[in-house]
Amino acid sequence: MTTRQQPGLTGAEAGSTAERTLRGLGVSPGIAIGPAHVMEAGAIQVPEYTVVETALADEVARFHGAAEKARRQLGKLKAKAGTLPADAAADMAILLDAHQAMLSGSRLIRGVERRIRTERLNAESAVQQEITVLAQSFAAMDDAYLAARVADVREVGRRLIRNLMETPYQAFSRLPDGAIILAEELSPADTALLDPRRIGGFATVLGGAEGHTAIMARSLSLPAVLGAAGLLQGVETGDLVVVDGRAGRVLINPSEDVLADYRQRQALWKAEREQLKALAGLPAITRDGTSLTLNANLELPREMEGARDAGAAGVGLLRTEFMYMNRDDLPGEEEQYQELRDLIIAMDGRPVTARTLDVGGEKLAGALADRFATPANPALGLRAIRLGLKEPKLLETQLAAMLRAGAHGPIRILVPMISNPSEMRKVRELMRAVARRLLRRGHAIADPLPPLGAMIEIPGAALAADSLASVSDFFAIGTNDLIQYTLAIDRGDEQVAYLYDPLHPAVLRLVQFTVEAAGRAGIPVSVCGEMAGDPRYAALLLGLGVRELSMAPGNLPLVKRRVRGLDLREATRRAGMIMSQTDGGRIAALLDDFNEALG
């Protein structure tokens, strides 16, 4: 972090007007300039109810789960603070240590547990009441230092309550146009609430380049920087902020010269995007005449217009989680059918690949949060198709909506996190049973039944792709989770972001296994992870035999430009050279040399 004060002001006088530059992970390109909106924990409406005697143990466990999550959050913040200048890092570490101490065997923890067990209070209310009593006792002490710790007590309490309630930020609609959100962390559900027509961009202290929040930012074409240590220190709502989502920089209160430079960069960025629009109506065809399919990934229905404008051949991945986010109940069959029907009609005959619910991990839907125990490792626990098969009513409702929507246009059904053929067989049996029931009820459905595909995102699935191909109508390779699981890294954790390597030989071999298995079975295979939307990887994926790519709508022109500039025979030869390598650095050099020759 660099700091430069306004001329003529001392440090104290400068306050928040001092220019600061922070570095983080540029996760979504573009430059945003606008007023800061600093997200505070804010007041939360805490529910209060009586817990039945038989549920007290579960309520205590729920509280301890929230406390454990808070400790992990503080641990991440402390690690991030280590990248700050020495004095700032030391101060931050002392503060975070104090917060962590309040969450481990403390009076706070014991008091909340006692209130749940003896007063039968729900955990949120027990935390609030215990925090109130603690704050009052601190404030009454004849010790200025301890009295000043009241703010720390309240902050720890807010963190616990927010974790218990899985509360997303809700006030985005009231922000001024072009506002830039600065926050400790934004969840995917928070990000889904951002309207790119009104929000300029955002930056956070926590978050990784390949996490779902980053994916959502790219999908919405919102400039974003994650993992910026010290972001919230000394910044106030209303301060002028620049977010450079390509370089991973956040500038707070930039000088006039710096601001002018970034306004020029912003204008150039917009001009380049305008030029790329001319590609929308051109075919995705290589120089040697091979036609390819470039589809759009959709997170939210409002991206549909952008997908059409970008010339998407279809929707290669519709993440249906949007219907489950930011609500307290579950969407029914009719609601899901209407949402899907409108999307299919809007695509006007172009195919839509709808993925069944993929919640769990960082994407837990609020309405489901209270129904299942929090797993020790959410990424490996009850999520995606595992959840659907454990709660078949949940899956059947989705399948019914998809089958009915398929009566209005072409649809494919994609099943996430498949690990073995028996899961695909069970889903197919469920789909057929749902189809029979819908026909008995007199509903029109897709005829014939839609293709049913397996998402290949687990290394074991890729290695067993031949057997999965025998029970699947198509494959879609989800490179985000495939890389995460292959390299054993949390793709949302900025501390290990440097290990996230799409060009790791193991990852490339798994992609190759999958493509070759699909070829032997004669079924289509696509790539719908973030690799597909990065022009850097286009030649390699095509050289490996992939002919269908699906990506955020904003990336479609960039990838199409690269596709139209390459010769597939040369790309295939270069892919062969790359696959004979065992060193990641050599692989990257071979690919980058090839791309540079394309210009």
Instruction: Show which residues are catalytic.
Output: 212, 528
What phi and psi values does residue 391 have, to the nearest 5 degrees?
-120, 75
CB 477 within 8 A of CB 540: no
User: How far does Cα 27 stand from its chain's mean position?
Assistant: 11
Helix/strand/coil for 172: helix
CB 115 within 8 A of CB 130: yes
Q: Annotated binding site for phosphoenolpyruvate: which residue ranges?
A: 319, 355, 480-481, 491
Tokens 């990000």 map to which residue?
191
Label residue 465 exposed, middle or buried (CB < 10 Å: 0-12, 13-18, 19+): buried
Q: Annotated binding site: which residue ranges?
A: 319, 355, 457, 480-481, 491
Q: Annotated binding site for Mg(2+): which residue ranges?
A: 457, 481
Q: Which residue type is seen at 123?
A: A
Cα dist from 271 to 196, 278, 308, 548, 559, whole Å: 18, 12, 20, 28, 18
For CA atoms 229, 235, 238, 240, give the dihedral sign.
negative
Alpha helices in 141-225 (DSSP H): 144-147, 150-165, 188-192, 212-220
DSSP class of 52: P
CA count, 13 A, side-chain hemisphere, 384: 22
What order do you get walking across the sheet with 249-252 strand by strand?
Answer: 2-4, 19-23, 249-252, 240-244, 31-38, 179-183, 199-204, 224-226, 25-28
Distance between CA atoms of residues 529 and 215, nearest Å: 9
Label residue 142 exposed, middle or buried (CB < 10 Å: 0-12, 13-18, 19+): exposed
The angle formed by the CA atoms of residues 479, 212 and 358, to the nearest 5 degrees, is 75
What residues form DSSP beta bridges with 19? 4
Cα dist from 228 to 17, 83, 102, 448, 516, whole Å: 19, 9, 26, 51, 41
Q: Write out the DSSP string of 98-120.
A: HHHHTTSS-HHHHHHHHHHHHH-
Q: Among 323, 317, 403, which Cα is nearest to 363's? A: 323
CB 419 within 8 A of CB 384: no
CB 333 within 8 A of CB 400: yes
